[in-house]
Amino acid sequence: MTTPLIPVDRILPVLDEPEPVRRRRRRALGKASPLTYLVLTFVILASVAPLYYMVVMASRPNSDITSTPPPLTPGDQLGENATRVFANPDVMFAQSLLNSLMVSLVATITVVTLSSLAGFAFAKLRFRGKNVFLLAVIGTMMVPVQLGLVPLYMLMGWLGLAGSLWSAVLPFLVTGFGVFFMRQYVSQAIPDELIEAARVDGASTLRIFAQVVFPAMRPAVAVLGLLTFMERWNDFMWPYLTLSPENPTVQVALSRLSGGYYTDQALVMAGTLLATVPLVLVFILFGRRIVGGIMEGGLKG
């Protein structure tokens, strides 16, 4: 275990059971002035401008893209450009979407399941060394695992998985963030009485988890699932290094597209749009939950 980079005395308050949250409308700190809305509007514009630019470029022919002044409104070529992306034999775009889906799904399922198990244990069970283990979990969030890429690559070779989709998934089957996030949720949202009642009825720990606790964790499962899926869908560095050329994820396919066809900007942008849109849609649909998840998941020392 490396030294936790967050001083322990800052974390220790975290080790106390979190207070159950009483949902009530926050009393605001101050009135929002028109200036506030102006600043926020500017921030939102800056947030979406590059994505808007992507849409403009993806829907134009290359002749427009290389004209001056640059086009500022979307054109009508999106369909053609998208068709060219899928038809490009080097990029294997359709296959890469499927690969990304599989990698993201597998990691999401294992992260949610194993995090729920461990989070429940940390929140509701008593065992020796609990705080030390919990600090270790928090410490793992601070470990730059990417830097182990050389032995990780060797390890995949030893396991006979070099280049396969499995090699892209294995390092992400668990996350410290997931365990910590689930622990916070279970501590706050699931009353001890519920568990004690099940114990009195003679249920085993696993049964309590499966039949009492896990069903009550649905909101947290949804949020952690969303965050994990997004993170895996967007992974770049490790898949780029480990996957064989015939097995790209969509992000790796994109980098190949931009590397090989950077003179064909309409093609590259259409591919980028296709890879981004599903996620932005998910985000707009479930944004409220994701925002809540991020705000709950930040370490509150």
Partner 1 sequence: MHLRDRLARFDINGAPYVFIAPFFVLFGIFGLFPLGYTLWVSLHDWSLLGGNEGWVGFANYTELVGDEYFWNSLLNTFAIFVIATVPQILAALALAQVLNTSLRALTFWRIGVIIPTATSIAAVGIIFTMMFSRDFGIINWLIGLVGVEPIAWNQERLPSWLAIATMVDWRWTGYNALILLAALQAVPKELYESARLDGASALRQFRSITIPMLRPTLMFVVTVATIGGIQLFTEPLLFNPGANAITGGDTRQFQTSAMYVVEQAFTGQRFGYAATVAWILFAIIVVVSLVNSLLVRRIRSVD
Interface of this chain with partner 1, residues 217 to 236, rule: CB under 8 A: 230, 233-234, 236
Minimum CB separation of residue 102 from partner 1 in Å reads 17
Contact pick of 153, 164, 188, 216 for partner 1 (by CB under 8 A): 153
Contacts to partner 1 from residues 80-109, by CB under 8 A: none
Contacts 24+ apart (CB under 8 A), 144-147: 145/171, 146/237, 146/238
Contact pick of 8, 17, 20, 40 for partner 1 (by CB under 8 A): 40
Measured from the CB atom, the residue of 32 and 87 that comes closer to partner 1 is 32
- For partner 1 (CB under 8 A), the number of binding residues is 109
Which run of H or E residues covers position 225? helix 218-234
Which run of H or E residues covers position 260? helix 250-260
96, 174, 243 from 239: Cα distances, Å: 11, 17, 5
Which run of H or E residues covers position 139? helix 130-140
207, 281, 282, 291 from 285: Cα distances, Å: 34, 6, 5, 12
Is 160 a binder of partner 1 (CB under 8 A)?
Answer: no
* 234 touches 49 (CB < 8 A): no
Under 8 Å CB-to-CB from 3, ≥6 apart: which residues? 139
Contact pick of 61, 65, 105, 162 for partner 1 (by CB under 8 A): 65
Is 206 a binder of partner 1 (CB under 8 A)?
Answer: yes
Contacts to partner 1 from residues 238-297, by CB under 8 A: 240-241, 251-252, 254-255, 258-259, 262, 265, 268-269, 272, 275-276, 279-280, 282-284, 287-288, 290-291, 294-296
Distance, CA of 108 to CA of 148 (rounded, Å): 22
The interface region with partner 1, picked from 81-89, 91-99, 127-135, 187-195 by CB under 8 A, is: 127-135
Is 140 a binder of partner 1 (CB under 8 A)?
Answer: yes
The interface region with partner 1, picked from 41-49, 81-89, 101-109, 184-192 by CB under 8 A, is: 41-49
